[in-house]
Amino acid sequence: MKQAMTGTPRVKALREYVEARILCLDDLKGALQLAMQLEFATIPPYLCAQWSVKRDPDRTEGVVHKVVSQEMYHFALAGNLLTAIGGTPSVTYPGFLPDYPVHELPGGIPQPMAVDLKPLVKDQLAVFMQIEHPDFPPVDRMERLPPPTIGAFYDTIIETFRETCPDIYPDAHAVSVPFAPPIRTVADAIETIDRIKSEGEGVPDSPDSPTGERTSHAHYYLFKELYVGKRLIKVDGRWSFDGAPVTLPEVFHFQHSTAEPGLSLKFRKILTRLLADLESCWTSGVEPNVPAMFELKIAGQDLIKRGICPEFAWAETQG
């Protein structure tokens, strides 16, 4: 089997990739490593919001669960793209995890509202909309963040694949993602990046984001439905938040705390082990450790029910 080469790529700021374009293979590897960090950075805030749900008359927990699942798929797909061009994903070091709260996402992407770990409440939904904000209409926009955007970053990666046609290693280790074909050609790579981008912010002129699984609103619009308390529907041929009402759930409130240090350490150890297992999927071809994912969920929910914020931080001590 022709296997991918090893070596952790050097990661630059997102602005550097977009403004200078991606001119060489090493920079493309670095950009995809950054894409992995970006996709993973959204997962802890979304998980904590999902785990905080106590009573949920309109099943809003399912909306957040869907977004979390897709972000995990995007993280995996970015890793698959990296191995496909001869790189090796690196997720087993403390700096891979943001130290929440943060005013910048990985790559130096400014976030005026701090990204933190909080319950599923309206203020947190505004933060989620900020993270997933699209680069285009059709619905009313919040104030735009300073360019370049995450969307522009993915467009730059697509442009690089299209113009440089890097060698693809079709037998490179990869994580299986539902409805995602193997990356065997440059066209496959471009299609994969398009999926990541469209599921997050949608596609121009429509809030729909078609996927192989189903047609669904992109993340920004799913969160905005919850934020405004109305479903997004078409009225006289135009998209509008004038559908059925949506009631936010009753939630468990929690905060950063030094209480229950044993339970907090247990959570960090599960997370650390899970990241190591995920990296092994790309370096050794093992299957994802699904039981560890459920173990992390149970430990996180237990902390939240006790009023304690789960710490998505590296645990130096194993065992």
Q: Is residue 68 part of a domain?
A: yes
- CATH number of the domain residue 191 falls in: 1.20.1260.10
pLDDT reported for residue 147: 52
Residue 160 lies in a domain: yes
The reply to whether 194 falls in a domain is yes
Domain that holds residue 120: 14-254
Q: Backbone phi, then psi, for 125, in 5-degree steps?
A: -65, -35
107-111 own/partner pairs: CB under 8 Å, 24+ apart:
107/11, 107/12, 107/13, 107/14, 107/15, 107/17, 107/34, 107/37, 107/38, 107/153, 108/13, 108/14, 108/15, 109/14, 109/38, 109/145, 109/149, 109/150, 110/145, 110/146, 111/145
Token pair, residue 270, equals 């599960």
Low-confidence ranges of the chain (pLDDT < 50): 1-7, 138-146, 202-205, 208-214, 318-319
In this predicted model, what pLDDT tens digit does every residue of 238-267 receive, in sequence order? 888 999 999 999 999 999 999 999 999 999
Number of domains in the chain: 1
Q: Establish if 319 belongs to a structural domain.
A: no
Phi, psi of 200 (to 5 degrees): -75, -50
pTM: 0.89
Question: If you ran DSSP here, which 8-state letter would residue 95 be given?
Answer: G
For 173, residues 6+ apart whose C-beta sits below 8 A from its C-beta are: 3, 4, 83, 281, 282, 283, 284, 285
Asked whether residue 78 is domain-assigned, the answer is yes
- Please check whether residue 266 lies inside any domain of the structure: no
